[in-house]
């Protein structure tokens, strides 16, 4: 891609840093590209979504930007969609457009990101989880399912741990429950990032377009370095105690390790021996795992239709179908 000329130089001089920058590149730009011929079979295209209702919720003096697609007064459980680092709620449009055809969808611009803009200092997954719950409260949403990508995936886990009564099902896409769930080389590269490395990239351009504090991009870089350099971990007991069902999604070439994803899947009720031994399922499982082949951390955003086709039955609590003719 010609959109990242600084990365072309970094790949030669500092491959670890280049990998980290690529990992955090604007997924909105990637998702906008045409699907390759070898992409997995997608779900049918969703119907166009009506214009979103936008606004801000004040959380401890911070104005958090949000958008609502669809009718929150409907009987459908809303889906809260949380974006990744250096992104915005708007960047999650590939997912929003697919899910909003069947349920109301809420997006949030996390602290320091998008239309929320600079909030000062570092932030944590706990803060972002509390922000998200406060936005739900401001919208009079008592309970929502949550889908989070990357940073948003870790925030979704934090929400379910800290506010289990407000969270239904969770879809964790390329998000970790502990810092050591990430490939070490990726974290090493992030630690060496500087704002100058982002010059001319879609990340910087989108930030300046959306943010009420367009000159504060260096502060966002510092905040992301801090959150990705600060150890955090939810215990096995905390993860097992989450009441809602969980689906874990990642690519087989993701920045999150396969080992971490499998552990999270099992802690959330996946790997039940009964369907493994009998060969079929008679009820919707508590945990689901999807590993997309030939898919990287950014590449997973180009698979929104494939992911939606897998996630919608999970959100609807559908029992996996039986093939005809086996019994």
Is 18 a domain residue?
no
Q: Is the pLDDT of residue 6 over 50?
A: no
Alpha-carbon span 7 to 21, nearest angstrom: 8
The per-residue pLDDT for 327 is 67
**How many independent structural domains does the chain possess?**
1
The per-residue pLDDT for 279 is 87
Provide the pLDDT confidence category of residue 278 given band limits of 50, 70 and 90.
confident
CA quadruple 266, 241, 257, 314: dihedral sign? positive
3-state secondary structure of 129: helix
Is 117 a domain residue?
yes
Q: Specify which residues 296 forms β-bridges with.
A: 253
Is 215 a domain residue?
no
The residue ranking higher by pLDDT, 278 or 146, is: 146
Cβ burial of 125 (10 Å; 0-12, 13-18, 19+) is buried
Find, among 73, 132, 133, 79, the residue nearest to 101 by Cα: 79
Is 153 a domain residue?
yes
Which domain does 159 fall in, by range?
50-183+230-272+280-315
Is 89 a domain residue?
yes
Query: What tens digit of pLDDT does each residue of 96-125 get?
Result: 999 999 999 999 999 999 999 998 888 999
Pairing of strands 144-149, 167-173: parallel
Query: What tens digit of pLDDT does each residue of 287-321 get?
Result: 999 999 999 999 999 999 999 999 999 999 998 88
Query: What tens digit of pLDDT does each residue of 15-68 get?
Result: 444 445 544 543 444 334 443 333 333 344 444 445 789 999 998 889 999 999
The per-residue pLDDT for 44 is 41
Q: Is the pLDDT of residue 70 over 80?
A: yes
Is 110 a domain residue?
yes
Query: What tens digit of pLDDT does each residue of 176-233 get?
Result: 999 999 999 999 999 999 999 999 999 999 999 999 999 999 999 999 999 999 999 9
The per-residue pLDDT for 41 is 38
- As a whole number of Å, the CA-based R_g of the chain is 19
Is 224 a domain residue?
no
Is-contact 199 208, C-beta < 8 A?
Answer: no
Residue 140 burial (CB count, 10 A) = 8
**CATH code for the domain in which residue 137 is found:** 3.40.50.1820
Is 105 a domain residue?
yes
What value does the mean pLDDT of the chain take? 87
């Amino acid at each position: 891609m010609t959109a990242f000329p600084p990365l072309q130089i970094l790949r030669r001089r500092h491959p670890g840093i280049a990998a980290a920058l690529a990992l955090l590149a604007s997924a909105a730009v990637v998702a906008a590209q045409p699907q390759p011929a070898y992409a997995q079979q997608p779900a049918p295209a969703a119907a166009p979504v009506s214009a979103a209702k936008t606004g801000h919720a004040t959380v401890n003096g911070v104005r958090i930007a949000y958008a609502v697609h669809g009718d929150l007064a409907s009987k459908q459980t809303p889906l809260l969609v949380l974006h990744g680092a250096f992104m915005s709620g708007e960047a999650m449009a590939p997912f929003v457009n697919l899910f909003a055809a069947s349920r109301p969808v809420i997006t949030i611009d996390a602290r320091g990101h998008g239309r929320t803009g600079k909030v000062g200092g570092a932030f944590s997954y706990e803060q972002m989880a509390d922000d998200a719950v406060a936005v739900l409260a401001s919208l009079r949403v008592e309970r929502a399912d949550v889908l989070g990508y990357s940073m948003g995936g870790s925030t979704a886990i934090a929400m379910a741990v800290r506010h289990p009564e407000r969270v239904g099902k969770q879809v964790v896409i390329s998000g970790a429950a502990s810092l050591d769930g990430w490939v070490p080389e990726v974290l090493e590269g992030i630690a060496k990032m500087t704002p100058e490395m982002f010059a001319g990239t879609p990340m910087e351009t989108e930030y300046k377009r959306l943010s009420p504090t367009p000159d504060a991009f260096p502060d966002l870089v510092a905040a992301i370095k801090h959150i990705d350099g600060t150890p955090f971990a939810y215990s096995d007991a905390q993860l097992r105690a989450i009441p809602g069902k969980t689906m874990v999604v990642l690519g087989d070439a993701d920045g999150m390790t396969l080992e971490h994803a499998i552990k999270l899947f099992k802690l959330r009720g996946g790997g039940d021996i009964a369907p493994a031994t009998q060969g079929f399922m008679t009820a919707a499982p508590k945990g689901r795992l999807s590993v997309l082949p030939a898919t990287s951390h950014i590449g997973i955003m180009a698979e929104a239709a494939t992911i939606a086709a897998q996630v919608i039955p999970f959100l609807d609590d559908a029992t996996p179908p039986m093939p005809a003719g086996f019994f």
